[in-house]
Structure 1
Amino acid sequence: MTRKAYSFVRTFAREPARVLNVDRHYLLCASAGVLRLEAQGQAWLLPPARAALIEAGRAIQVSIPQPVTTASVLFDTGFTPGPPAPLTVFDLTPLARVLVSECGAWGDSDEPLTAYAETLFAALAAVTWRLAEQPSPVVVPAGRSPELRRALHLTAQRLGSQISFEDVADEVGLAPRSLARRFEDETGMTWRAVLRRMRVLRAIEELAAGDTPITKIAFMVGYTSLSAFNAAFRQLTARTPTDYRASFRP
């Protein structure tokens, strides 16, 4: 009989997308690098100091755009209630980080947890389940139709250039008006709003990757003005890029 809950830390090299599906509730925390998670027509970014809570039996797509170190905690479905949502990404509080670290002493084993260990895992679940009720806004639509998914892919490829909506529509074989309707119907957002989110998410990846100056990152993701970049970043994350980078390093 395996433990009611267990934890492990792993480092992964850059990898293309693959499907993850486990039979336990899964708390996935990034301590270095970035993960991309996709499910139910949406894509999340998981940078350092954030966590994803994934419902047992829920298939999600995971890709690793840069080397990443993760701490994972798996809970038996009889040990904890179901998460508040099938997949949620949220900020870890200092208390949650400490509990994740403390639970790291108990890996997968047939030996039962001690009473102390059960208390730690139960406390971690209580804290992170509560945090999951306030998800991170760092999410973009993934699209349902092939045309919209291609439009999103093309947009993501050209964030650093002067991309135009008309060019994207032409390449996916739709009139601009038709593609605009697809964005509204499938994402509830305009293409320009999605573009802003994509640029901020790419900036977060760069912030997590190293110490590249913020001005350089702003230009890399397509902004010609640092003030415009800062305003867009703060609007989505409620933090400045400097503050967001600082949150990676508790």
Structure 2
Amino acid sequence: MLVAVHDGGVQLLGVSGRWTLPSGHMVFIPAERSYRLAANGPVHLTLVKFTGAETVWHHTGCWATAMSTLAVEMCQFAHRWGPDRDPTDRLANRFFDTMGQLFAVWFDNKRKMWTPFGNAPDLERAIAFARDHIETASIADTAVAAGMSERTLRRRFQDELGISWREFINEIRMTEAMRLLGRGESSVTETAYAVGFNSLGAFTVAFSNYTGSTPSAYARSNARAREVRPLLAPSKTASPGAAPMGRNNQF
């Protein structure tokens, strides 16, 4: 299933971790994956269900990425069909087949916006401490909070979570930066300091490497999108029980 976030923000909670999805992003959830969506406020989503035959791109886990202009337009167009549509509708069948084929293009990026769950109480403490103290968290302070040495913390992150400490802290910093800039409530400089950077230049480099866009350009893009979003009809916000569907879809 495809989950597209048009406005607001959601968290996708899976078995091994959570994805934090700001507006303008989407995630692919394989049919065999259990999940839960959570939001702290109003959110505008499109959920599109597909059969395996309609998607040529497959992955064992969820995958998130920014929405292209084409993805936004296709998600909006998909609202003309619901779960009760005629299965012989040639236009609908070809549309969802085409949309499913595009997953291989849309999700051609490394995993991002993902935070692992700890499989032990001390790792959970480490993850929670870093997330709650993102502005100042260091590996030394995080190790103390978790009750282990820095060396042990580094090793266990890599061995048990499959991610290095450096990758982890960059992930949560960039995800929070995207959220702040996407909402338009913080300047680039304020955002840089809020997520633990003392240098605006270093923040710009890190953010650009992560998103492919400078912080200023990302903020401007989201500001333009916010101006357009009120034009979206609220009645067309999809829910899991009324998502646009491909041919004979189940999830």
Q: Which amino acid aligns with 2:142?
A: V
Q: Which amino acid aligns with 2:19?
A: W
Q: Give a deviation string over 1:87-130, Cα, whole Å, max 9, x none.
A: 11123322222221111111222644622122222221111243
CA distance in structure 2 between the aligned counterparts of 1:41 and 1:207, rounded to whole angstroms: 27
Q: Structure 2: any 5+ residue segments left out of the alignment?
A: 226-251
**Among 221, 224, 230, the residue aligned to 2:195:** 221
Residue of structure 1 in register with 2:64 after alignment:
89
Q: Which amino acid aligns with 1:153?
A: A
Secondary structure of the structure 1 residue equivalent to 2:58:
coil
Given the two structures, how large is their TM-score scaled by the length of structure 1? 0.78
Distance 1:196 1:129, change over 3 A: closer
Residue of structure 2 in register with 1:54 after alignment:
29
Distance 1:59 1:67, change over 3 A: same
Given the two structures, how large is their TM-score scaled by the length of structure 2? 0.77
Q: Structure 1: any 5+ residue segments left out of the alignment?
A: 1-25
The correspondence of residues 60-71 of structure 1 with structure 2, limited to 5 A, is 60-71=35-46
Matching of residue 177 in structure 1 with residue 151 in structure 2: yes
CA distance in structure 1 between the aligned counterparts of 2:203 and 2:41, rounded to whole angstroms: 23
What number of residue pairs does the alignment pair up?
223
Mean CA deviation greater in 187-196 or 209-218: 187-196
Q: As a proportion of its length, which structure holds more strand? A: 1
CA distance in structure 2 between the aligned counterparts of 1:30 and 1:121, rounded to whole angstroms: 19
The correspondence of residues 199-210 of structure 1 with structure 2, limited to 5 A, is 199-210=173-184
CA distance in structure 1 between the aligned counterparts of 2:164 and 2:102, rounded to whole angstroms: 35
Q: What fraction of aligned residue pairs are identical, expressed as a percent?
A: 27
Q: Which amino acid aligns with 1:185?
A: D
CA distance in structure 1 between the aligned counterparts of 2:40 and 2:214, rounded to whole angstroms: 23
Alpha-carbon distance, 1:81 to partner: 4.2
Q: As a proportion of its length, which structure holds more helix? A: 2
CA distance in structure 2 between the aligned counterparts of 1:66 and 1:232, rounded to whole angstroms: 29
Q: CA RMSD in A?
A: 2.4
Q: Which has the higher contact order (CA 8 A, sep 6+)?
A: 2
The correspondence of residues 2-17 of structure 1 with structure 2, limited to 5 A, is none
